[in-house]
Amino acid sequence: MRCRHFELVLIVIVLLCARAFAQAAPAADSFLAGSRAAPGNDAAETSTETFSARVREVNLLFSVSDWRGRFISNLTPSDIKVLDNGQQPQSLTYFLRQSDLPLKVGVLIDVSGSVGTFFSDQQQAAAIFLQQTLRRSDSATIMSFGGESRVVQDFTSNLESLTKAVHGLSAGDTSTAIYDAVTSACARLSTNAGSSLARRVLILITDGEENSSHSSLEDAIEAALQSDAIVFALNTSPNRVFTDPMLQKLSKSTGGSVLNAHGARALKSAFRKIDEQLRNQYLLGYKPPHWQADHSFHKIRVSSLRFGLHIHCRKGYYAIE
């Protein structure tokens, strides 16, 4: 009897222990879950810290010409030197010849009364340029400006729509707001800039007679640099000595240039030069030293280690995340 009684007591003890363990198991699971969650939270915090401290990659589009003005297409990374605020980049991430990279072109046409004499020539030359330059992967927008700027044709690859928009323009505005128009056009070029890699180009056709902008020349240059757009200014004025300096400052800051466009022949020649430069470009990526998104301006200097070559690129960028 005592033996049976002892066995019965032992069985009861085992059952009670099993029950107690079953009740304690969820608490243990909860503790383990909490232990797993903690590293997850730490990882999330670490990921956030890494994200906020990441180094921005600067994309630099440029072209190279020799002393005769002919564009060079066989450059290598060992042929150039890049300085960011006077310091070498942390590293070069890529170096590509980008003649096949899609173009995103803004054609900004002055429709003030002062350009009326040669306006039909401008229309014809612009239409020919678009037809000869744009490919299926490219897109363009047509914008006009006098006192105010407006979009005549939004971005499209349809040459018929673009040509129709160009030929549908007429000149006659009494004022000319070049800086406002460039600022607005550059903002449009940078729309959805991060969605795909493209070369952004603004072609400004004007006689350079600015008289009514609310923005300044510095505002226009800043807008161009922030949008990573290269500005080509086609000066249609017969007196370029008065208007070239402003257009030079605007275009050269972005890696572009001012071209003589007074008359039908000069216009066609100017567009041919732009097309040639666009088809002989390089895209370089680098990680800048001591990156901080403080909106400061970083000066970029690209020099060639090959004698007699000239680099065409923007003069800098704003440190914006």
- Span 94-144, pLDDT tens digits: 898 876 788 999 999 999 988 877 898 889 999 999 999 999 999 999 999
Has residue 39 got a pLDDT over 90?
no
Q: What is the pLDDT of residue 46?
A: 32
**In this structure, what token pair is assigned to residue 50?**
């890494």
Q: What is the pLDDT of residue 247?
A: 97
C-alpha closest to that of 252 among 287, 276, 271, 225: 225
Buried-state track 188-199, b at ≥16 Cβ within 10 A, e below 16: bbbeeeeeeebb
Question: Span 261-275, mean pLDDT?
Answer: 92
Q: What is the pTM of this model?
A: 0.78
Q: What is the pLDDT of residue 196?
A: 61
**In this structure, what token pair is assigned to residue 248?**
């030079």
- Span 52-74, pLDDT tens digits: 334 478 989 999 999 988 999 89
Has residue 168 got a pLDDT over 60?
yes
C-alpha closest to that of 107 among 261, 310, 252, 308: 261
Statement: 103-278 belongs to CATH 3.40.109.10: no
Pairing mode of beta strands 91-97, 103-110: unpaired
Confidence category of residue 35, pLDDT binned at 50, 70, 90:
very low
Rounded CA-CA distance 101/104 in Å is: 10
Contacts of 240 by beta carbon, 8 Å cutoff, 6+ apart? 208, 260, 262
Confidence category of residue 26, pLDDT binned at 50, 70, 90:
very low
Domain ranges of the chain: 1-54, 58-98+281-318, 103-278
